[in-house]
Structure 1
Amino acid sequence: MHSRDARPEGFTRRSWHRKASKPVSYWMIALVIAVAAHPLIPQFRWLLVHMVTLGLVTTSIMVWGQHFTEALLKTRLGEETRPKQVARIWALTASIVIAMAGMLANLPLLTVLGAIGVSAMILWYAFALGAQLKAALAPRFAFVVRAYLIAACLLPFGAALGAILAFSPGEPWQGRLLLAHQVVNILGFVGVTVSATLLTLWPTVLRTKLDTTKATRASRFLIVMVIGTLIAMLGALVDNVLVGLAGLTLYILGQVVIGLLLVALARQSSRQVRHEPLALFPVLSIGAGALWFLGTCVALWGLWFSSIGSSDGSPVTSPLNFSLTAARLHDLSVPFVAGFLLQVLLGAMSYLLPASMGGGPRALKAGLAVMSRWAVFRVVALNLALGMFAFASITGMVGEALFGALTFGTFAPSQFGSVTRVLVSAVAFLVLASFIVLMLRMVKVNLRERLEFKERSAQLGMPGIGAPANPQQSGTSGSAPAAIASGVSSTPALAHEGEARREPATLGRRHLTSALAGAGTVFSLAAVGRAFDGTLAGAAAVGIPSQGAGSEHGAGPAIAPTGRTTRLTVEANADMRFVPNTLEVPAGDRLEIEVHNVDPANTHDLVLDTGAHTERLHPGDTVVLEAGVVTAPIEGWCSIVGHRAMGMTLTITPTGARTSGSHSSDGGAAGVGTDPLARVSADLTSAPGSSRTRRDPVMPAVPSPGTPQKLAFTVTKENLEIAPGIAMESMVYNGEVMGPVITSPLGGKIELTLTNSGEMGHSIDFHAGTVAPNRYMRTIAPGESLVYPFTTDYAGAWLYHCSTAPMTMHLSGGMYGILIVPPQGLAPADREYVLVQSEHYLAPETSAGEDGNPAQGPDGCALHAISSEKIFAERPDFTVFNGHANQYVHEPLEAKVGERVRIWVLAAGPSRGIAFHVVGTVFDTVFKEGEYLLRPDNTTGGGAQALDLGSCQGGFVEMVFHEEGTYKAVNHQFVDLERGALALIHVTA
């Protein structure tokens, strides 16, 4: 022990916690301010998430990790070490602020500097824990500290990934790095640390005894969680969904094993008799947080799993999986941040803060009582609100079922509108913010109790205040976790457990009333919000201008024009975001929006639901959009295909006005009552339009070996017919839906020059090549060119396509094609054809022309935009061969009896495969994905009826026709046949 004189000035046993926790308090206050001011903050979602995870949680881990390490190892450090610990915490805080400033100001080098600082402080912290662990003498709870140390060593990996992301790498690395960054930081550093802490903190707040043997056995699964984190991180980085899922499965297994021990401890505590009830808020908040953690990890597993699959059930992976999975993770931000992190943190601090302040049993009891005020009401209201937000974001029947169960079927997710969201989120915000008020109140109560105790002691002639002088005589009942993890020598309830025997504590009528009050508050506000949302929707349905720009867009506005003009600046960036994406304007002001396209590769625009819009902005362009007089909320988005689906939207809100949203498919405002998934149909018995030229299905000749090919592709935007009477707003290589058919011998050299003459960023990815994606598959801006050299070292029918996100939009828009590399020794065939299947998803409404009337494609075709809603719902309108539905029905392929016919087949996707079948014949040769599955001379005498291909797979089949007639080449997944995947083969004598 160090003498009192050796202590540095200002550092007593209790004051260290006060000084070390100041940054945590500041982060809490800053978080409340940021939430209140979020419409004015650029990238506010990113900022709020990182203020919680990096600021509040990481700083708390450093503070309480040191506290638990000393308590569990029983190696209390000398007071002379405290200034270094506090300096380390402040240095961590400064590094976090620098990293955040770098991201918000788009200064990557500043972000890197902050990331280095964060990593250095965490590694210093880990080194300090390791030194204490080494000095400990056979501690029983060393496994907790080891988990702290290992988890801390994971954070620098996440910080490095985050620093790389600051430089905005292109796809596919953007999605991979983001997903790996989130996995290693949240699941690794935070998740493992919290799980280890709960092994001792949970029985402490429950005031029940922990079986050390069971705890040690369960702690082994902390290593399983660490291994699972690393595997999942690796899966994201190496572009393998199955590896990522394997890692998540291990991680969830570790969670379940540790969770079973926590449940057993809760049951054990519920059966105990105690003199006084437990402090409820720590128990309920930590328990709810642990459930959210498990639930969100399972949801992440399901989200990741849903990004794979093919028509035949085999797994398919692509860079798009990681991009979309990472982008969709924002749906889990509410459960992860508010449901798990904040609830566990606030629950733990509700117990630990009163314990660390000292002052004796009375002060501790009073402090715990303050922190548990309205505990049931707070926990029920918060978790019900969080559940609404979480389940409303789940699409499909699962989301509807969960949301309906949570709300007792009172309303559906579609009715969870903007006003409802504002009111329900206000409840959650107030519940979380109440922690700060109660914390300040707890401090005052603690000080009052300590002062009263001091006065009573002085009157009785007793020395000092606080805990008993001899901890071994404090009356504890031997509950190791309670004494160890809390850092105090006794707890009020345990001191009396040997006295009067009482029934086990249960939740009484008062608690039930509080639960009903919490649920009633949320449901009541949700009902009010739903009524407002319904009123606004009804006004829009009858033509009342609820979202216009004043008198210029309808009947007289409720808010008179002020005559003033407000000008705001918005940036369109490479993250497919408008920054800021929420604009507040004084009601009645005329709004001018100065739009800057700071994306170095992509074209963007800004379209408002009032009809105002900018021109297409190339990288570096700036334009001022006249938005008109703002009297009601206005929604805006980028109309470049797919960008809105990626989250490129903004909201304009008049100060003091009610909010309501309008939602539409890409490219324009949705009509009232239009189902975004409504089928676009065509008369497939009709011939293609007169301007439509049949795509020649004959395979081009293969160049001679040793002759390099120099190819040139130009990207353009075209309105092209894809079915009789139906045209699509297409993005194409060399002017056609489906790019040129390319052939090459084995070992052939190809040098492609790609020129982007389109209106947005594009790229190309040849599956046959083995080249660095970030170099040759990068997105190039309009007007730029790219040289892509590669060698065809492997035989097969290879897909090429645009790899710019969202790839589904670019692929279904026509940016795909086939490269054929015949296998070694392939015998000549009499006829050789190429059929490439693709599916296309069209917005139900026809596109609008500049005059507001429906736009037309070639030959007067109805012109449709690409529908992101249908892509994600996997509801294609047409499935076609070589870019047009049923074009080979009216101009069939040809063959003669006895000829050997070879048909190369590719499933270009973007999502569906093919079961290729020719009615009336049998395949005697099948070649799939680089290998023969069947040859004419096979010893079994077998034949094949179909070539099954998953999305992006290819091969060929051969057959000999024995009779004259008309034969059908089809996708035997008949729903796709009926959407246009049909070709006729006319066989003559």
Structure 2
Amino acid sequence: MPRRAWYLATNAVVIAWVVLTLVAVTVHRFVGEPLWLMVHVPLLGAATAAILVWSQHFADTLLRRPAPAGRAGLGIRLIAHSVGAALVIAGILQSMVPLTLFGATIVGAAIVAHGIILAVQLRRALPTRFGLLVRYYVAASIVFLGGIAIGGLMSATADSAATDRLVAAHVVLNAYGWIGLTVLGTLVLLWPTVLHARMPATADRGARHALPLLLGGLAVAVAGPLLDVRPLVAAGLLIWLGGAARLAAEGVRAAAGFVGGDSEKTRVRPMPPATFAGWSLAAAFAWLWIAGAVLAVAALVSADWASLRGAWVPLLGPLVGGFGVQVLMGALSHLLPVVAMGSPAAARTSAQVLDRGAAFRVCVLNGAIALYLAPLPSISRVLLSFAAAGVVVAFVVLAVRAVVVGRRVRRAEGDAPDRSGRISLGGSIGHRPLAPRRRLAPVLSAVAVVVACVAGGVAADPAAVGIATGPSGDVAPSGQTTTVRVTVEGMRFVPGEIEVPSGDRLVLEFHNTGDDAHDLTVANGVRSARLAPGESETLDVGVVGARLAGWCSIAGHRQMGMELSIVVTGAPVGDAAGRSPEHGHAHGTASAGSAADDVDLSAEPRAGFQAHPAALAPASTRRVHRTTLRVSEDAADVAAGVSQARWTFDGTSPGPVLRGRIGDRFEITLVNDGTIGHSIDFHAGALAPDEPMRTIQPGETLTYTFTAERAGIWMYHCSTMPMSMHIANGMYGAVIIDPPELAAVDREYLLVQGELYLGPQGETADAVKLAAKTPDLVAFNGYADQYVHQPLKARAGERVRVWVLDAGPNAPSSFHVVGGQFDTVYLEGAYRLGGRERGPGGAQSLALQPAQGGFVELAFPEAGNYPFVTHIMSDAERGARGIFHVD
């Protein structure tokens, strides 16, 4: 294969991984492990593929000796890596540990081969000035094997404490070891090349001095989690940053034109960054260094490994987008034209395409990443992430365009291109960057884009940034500030009442010391972000002259008691300090604008409506049932013209049916893809609830394993407080364990009854109605009257079994089929009628309390429509009814 075609083919693999990164960002809300996916597709996929290709290219060039296995060996390693990485990603998304470990083994084998080939190549080559840079690549390969091993161990362990420690080692070895070492070693030579600057005489010495510091820092940092000593992480990162700073000093010398040795003062024309490649490489190094410094500080101040893990999460954006993706785009913007176009003219044309809008793109990407770290409304962050993703899309488009245009120029040159300006590794591609004045316009345009993203989010959610927080009440500021620390105990703010002298500015230091996510909202519009356990935020309430209420705005938390009062002292008699603390936030009445006003059970569902599948499949022959349930928080219709924000298992309410037999083992993986803490409680399992039923935060997973020991229909549900709110919002489902020798029937159906306490359209349940036990709708399988619109089918004379579960959270049920009689009734694990001994008796209803269930059997005597209802008739009239259409 010709050289040009080889580089285009191998880098097409890299670009494909970049495209998959964009896909991951787009779909992450709809898959399990979204954060893991958005980190590993760009780093394990795109960055690692690029390292395999370009570290081999630089090793061949620097050592002036081809690799032992040549291009064929690199091709095999690149394919093995891509297949292995794909298997790792699939295994994580499907919660298949063996598949994950198999994929990691393939990736590890590719890296072992890569490191061995580089080491052999280095050993056999004659000494060259920059041959030592290949040592960076060999060392990075060794380090990466440790990172892969730790990643595999993390996927196989269920110990959350151990995982918190392993995450720290995994990030250090992979981000600062595998990718960091490779990038820094490459930049020693690539940076002056991109700048078209002369190489400093001390560059090789700097590289030689820095490598021991970088490796020593990695060793110390990884020893921290392995030995359970957090300060070692900080010490190791600081040592590593020192090595990186040593290399950065040589980079600054090159850009400033100081090219002489230590005793010389030779200076040539300064060559600061002036292209997309130069600016991107500089910004990427800055993000890597800043993130390392912040993480070092976090390792010193964190109370435990879990808190440290929480501190790493916000910095994944700078590490992945600011460093990993940006260094990849910058390097490829320079290297692709140089090595893949085939002639100077084609390279210049290709480089010009890749440099289009350089200043604009660099400023948008880095501005978006920087502002994303600020305490902005979530809408602003979404818009900023779109802007950053747009820069990556633009790079992919321009890369493809550059190849097309460059190849067109090369073909036009024929068999004898002009090579008088032949490009070498350190040569110039002859592209003239924009003059400073012409560069100002795109920079201002970029600023306008990121400001518009922030402004759009603030306009949509002004209270998130404290707008309209002027003095509370007509009071003159005292010039004094009262600062109060607010913590969380269970479902209470501590203190519950705060006294503030009239006219003082109030500052609240809010620390979430609870075990679930919370926020703090004040009646004047000031509110915190939603804080995970261990996080904190400072709120400036403003000048206080009137009594104010504060509460947690997460659905149901206020009704559980998460309120506080801000009481003004020293106010004149009759002043605003004596007013009600609610200030328009009524607590004890239903929410304004309830979707209950839109309920019309005579209306038809929207076009394309499909009722929740009620038909029940028989139990499988498997004895081990492995299932992943993903928590989601999405809007869904609950009646014709009525939409609510539903919290669900796997996107449906009720959640997926689990069915088996006595003795079957169930291994359930819960993935929290929501925005608040959730949990799961299987009534079908008998075990201590402390660990398997614990609340997990967004992005976390847990595994719940139980063995079915008794027959019956068992409820499962979220048990996070307030439990009534989580169940009322849809977090429930059924586990059916067949009684021994359960007779076959012609049809089986499952109906799960639940109540709906409607909040505003598209929002969560109304906690006030829920506490008062006044539902607006009662439904079978989550949608009022759905089986009136789409009846269940049967034939005259067929035997039909109907399993029924009352999920509540509050109301009982009395299941009845109009025109039918039950000859078999099974309630809470025992036959009450029928079974092995059938007598002349019959039954007219199956009475259930919340969390109870059973089944009934009947045969319809003739064709017709047989309504089924809860015979608690007010609830039937609220939507708990349907029809059996019998042919």
Which TM-score band applies after superposition, normalised by the shorter structure? Answer: 0.5 to 0.7
Partner of 1:298: 293
Label 1:42 to 1:465 Cα distance change in 2 as closer, same or farther (>3 A).
Answer: same
Letter in 2 for 1:448: R
Deviation sequence 1:829-854 (CA, Å, 0-9, x none):
xxxxxxxxxxxxxxxxxx9998369x
Partner of 2:452: 524
Label 1:442 to 1:422 Cα distance change in 2 as closer, same or farther (>3 A).
Answer: same
Which of 134, 159, 170 is 1:170 aligned to?
159
Q: Give me the whole-angstrom Cα distance separating, in 2, the residues matched to 1:604 and 1:104.
A: 10
Q: Give me the whole-angstrom Cα distance separating, in 1, the residues matched to 2:327 and 2:672.
A: 42
Q: Give me the whole-angstrom Cα distance separating, in 2, the residues matched to 1:607 and 1:201.
A: 43
| TM-score (norm: length of structure 1) | 0.51
Partner of 1:118: 107
Contact 1:605/1:639 (<8 A) preserved: no
Q: Secondary structure at the match of 1:351?
A: helix
Matched, 1:350 2:333: yes
Q: Give me the whole-angstrom Cα distance separating, in 2, the residues matched to 1:196 and 1:492.
A: 23
Contact 2:112/2:141 (<8 A) preserved: yes
Letter in 1 for 2:389: F
Which of 281, 284, 295 is 1:289 aligned to?
284
Partner of 1:339: 322
Contact 2:345/2:409 (<8 A) preserved: yes
Label 1:618 to 1:287 Cα distance change in 2 as closer, same or farther (>3 A).
Answer: farther
Residue 667 (structure 1) shift: 3.9
Label 1:281 to 1:323 Cα distance change in 2 as closer, same or farther (>3 A).
Answer: same
Partner of 1:579: 630
Which of 93, 111, 114 is 1:104 aligned to?
93
Letter in 2 for 1:593: S
Deviation sequence 1:600-655 (CA, Å, 0-9, x none):
7999999999xx99984469699xxxxxxxxxxxxxxx998864488689xxxxxx
Which of 476, 491, 495 is 2:428 aligned to?
491
Residue 83 (structure 1) shift: 2.1
Partner of 1:200: 189
Matched, 1:92 2:12: no
Matched, 1:442 2:362: no
Partner of 2:606: 562
Which of 369, 379, 382 is 1:419 aligned to?
379
Q: Give me the whole-angstrom Cα distance separating, in 2, the residues matched to 1:303 and 1:599.
A: 39
Matched, 1:510 2:438: yes
Residue 185 (structure 1) shift: 1.0
Partner of 1:330: 313
Which of 17, 22, 37 is 1:47 aligned to?
37
Q: Give me the whole-angstrom Cα distance separating, in 2, the residues matched to 1:345 and 1:605.
A: 31
Which of 388, 409, 418 is 2:371 aligned to?
388
Q: Give me the whole-angstrom Cα distance separating, in 1, the residues matched to 2:241 and 2:315.
A: 16
Residue 45 (structure 1) shift: 1.5
Matched, 1:359 2:342: yes
Deviation sequence 1:675-694 (CA, Å, 0-9, x none):
xxxxxxxxxxxxxxxxxxxx
Moved more, 596-605 or 192-201: 596-605
Residue 28 (structure 1) shift: 1.6
Residue 71 (structure 1) shift: 1.2
Letter in 1 for 2:125: A
Matched, 1:851 2:803: no
Q: Give me the whole-angstrom Cα distance separating, in 1, the residues matched to 2:67 and 2:680.
A: 65
Q: Give me the whole-angstrom Cα distance separating, in 1, the residues matched to 2:675 and 2:769.
A: 16
Q: Give me the whole-angstrom Cα distance separating, in 2, the residues matched to 1:225 and 1:60.
A: 21
Letter in 2 for 1:491: S
Residue 427 (structure 1) shift: 0.8
Q: Give me the whole-angstrom Cα distance separating, in 2, the residues matched to 1:202 and 1:605.
A: 43
Q: Secondary structure at the match of 2:461?
A: helix
Label 1:163 to 1:289 Cα distance change in 2 as closer, same or farther (>3 A).
Answer: same
Residue 432 (structure 1) shift: 1.4
Letter in 2 for 1:44: P
Q: Give me the whole-angstrom Cα distance separating, in 2, the residues matched to 1:850 and 1:616.
A: 21
1:557-636, aligned counterparts within 5 Å? 562=606, 564=609, 579=630, 581=632, 583=634, 585=636, 592-595=652-655, 616-617=681-682
Residue 557 (structure 1) shift: 9.5
Q: Give me the whole-angstrom Cα distance separating, in 2, the residues matched to 1:196 and 1:29.
A: 26
Letter in 1 for 2:653: I
Q: Give me the whole-angstrom Cα distance separating, in 1, the residues matched to 2:409 and 2:135.
A: 38
Residue 111 (structure 1) shift: 1.2
Q: Secondary structure at the match of 1:579?
A: strand
Letter in 2 for 1:245: A
Contact 2:164/2:306 (<8 A) preserved: yes
Q: Give me the whole-angstrom Cα distance separating, in 1, the residues matched to 2:674 and 2:15.
A: 42
Matched, 1:184 2:155: no
Partner of 1:67: 57
Residue 81 (structure 1) shift: 2.5
Residue 322 (structure 1) shift: 1.7
Residue 493 (structure 1) shift: 3.6
Residue 329 (structure 1) shift: 1.6
Q: Secondary structure at the match of 2:236?
A: helix
Letter in 1 for 2:630: V
Contact 1:565/1:589 (<8 A) preserved: no
Q: Please tell me the root mean square deviation across aligned C-alpha atoms, in Å.
A: 4.4
Residue 332 (structure 1) shift: 1.1
Label 1:57 to 1:594 Cα distance change in 2 as closer, same or farther (>3 A).
Answer: farther
Deviation sequence 1:96-118 (CA, Å, 0-9, x none):
11111111111111111111111
Residue 199 (structure 1) shift: 0.6
Q: Give me the whole-angstrom Cα distance separating, in 1, the residues matched to 2:71 and 2:406.
A: 23
Matched, 1:534 2:462: yes
Letter in 1 for 2:333: S
Residue 207 (structure 1) shift: 0.6
| TM-score (norm: length of structure 2) | 0.56
Q: Give me the whole-angstrom Cα distance separating, in 1, the residues matched to 2:239 and 2:206.
A: 16
1:222-237, aligned counterparts within 5 Å? 222-237=211-226
Label 1:602 to 1:115 Cα distance change in 2 as closer, same or farther (>3 A).
Answer: closer
Residue 510 (structure 1) shift: 1.4
Label 1:174 to 1:521 Cα distance change in 2 as closer, same or farther (>3 A).
Answer: same
Letter in 2 for 1:512: L
Q: Secondary structure at the match of 2:653?
A: strand
Matched, 1:258 2:247: yes
Q: Secondary structure at the match of 1:211?
A: coil
Partner of 2:516: none
Residue 534 (structure 1) shift: 3.1
Matched, 1:465 2:417: yes
Label 1:602 to 1:86 Cα distance change in 2 as closer, same or farther (>3 A).
Answer: closer
Partner of 2:16: 26
Partner of 1:8: none
Residue 341 (structure 1) shift: 0.7
Deviation sequence 1:30-50 (CA, Å, 0-9, x none):
222222222222212211210
Q: Give me the whole-angstrom Cα distance separating, in 2, the residues matched to 1:104 and 1:306.
A: 33
Deviation sequence 1:548-588 (CA, Å, 0-9, x none):
9998656559999738468699xxxxxxx973545475795
Q: Give me the whole-angstrom Cα distance separating, in 1, the residues matched to 2:129 and 2:112.
A: 24
Label 1:172 to 1:324 Cα distance change in 2 as closer, same or farther (>3 A).
Answer: same
Label 1:512 to 1:138 Cα distance change in 2 as closer, same or farther (>3 A).
Answer: same
Contact 2:281/2:326 (<8 A) preserved: yes
Letter in 1 for 2:128: P
Q: Give me the whole-angstrom Cα distance separating, in 2, the residues matched to 1:492 and 1:602.
A: 54
Moved more, 189-198 or 553-562: 553-562
1:770-789, aligned counterparts within 5 Å? none
Letter in 2 for 1:305: L
Matched, 1:57 2:117: no
Q: Give me the whole-angstrom Cα distance separating, in 2, the residues matched to 1:258 and 1:157.
A: 25
